[in-house]
Amino acid sequence: LGAVRYTGVASAPFRQEQHRRSVPPGQGEPPGSTVTMTVAYAEYGPHVGEQDALKLTVAGAVEETGQVVAKELRVRLHMPELTLTV
């Protein structure tokens, strides 16, 4: 998990995790194979600016063939609206 600047330049990852899941051939996602990743602002806040995004990259491999598949997800961050009543 890392930040991507508004210019498209990616920073070094600030968090990395490894999880192993096995999927039998010809079957869909087996029960219990979902991985949840919670990232608090305290962790990502120091790495992102006002117009930046977070980039999550996931990779997997087929043990028998060595074939690799990768997927990338970019999440745009938005500042919450602030309403002041005086």
Q: Is 0.75 surpassed by the pTM of this model?
A: no
Confidence of residue 35 (pLDDT cuts 50, 70, 90): confident
Average pLDDT, integer, range 23-45: 81
| pLDDT tens for each residue of 37-70 | 899 989 999 999 888 999 999 998 888 888 999 9
Per domain, the residue ranges of the chain are: 2-23+36-76
Give one DSSP letter per residue of the chain, joined into a string: -EEE-TTSPBPPPS----------TT--PPTT--------HHHHGGG--TT-EEEEEEEEE-TTT--EEEEEEEEE--PPP-----
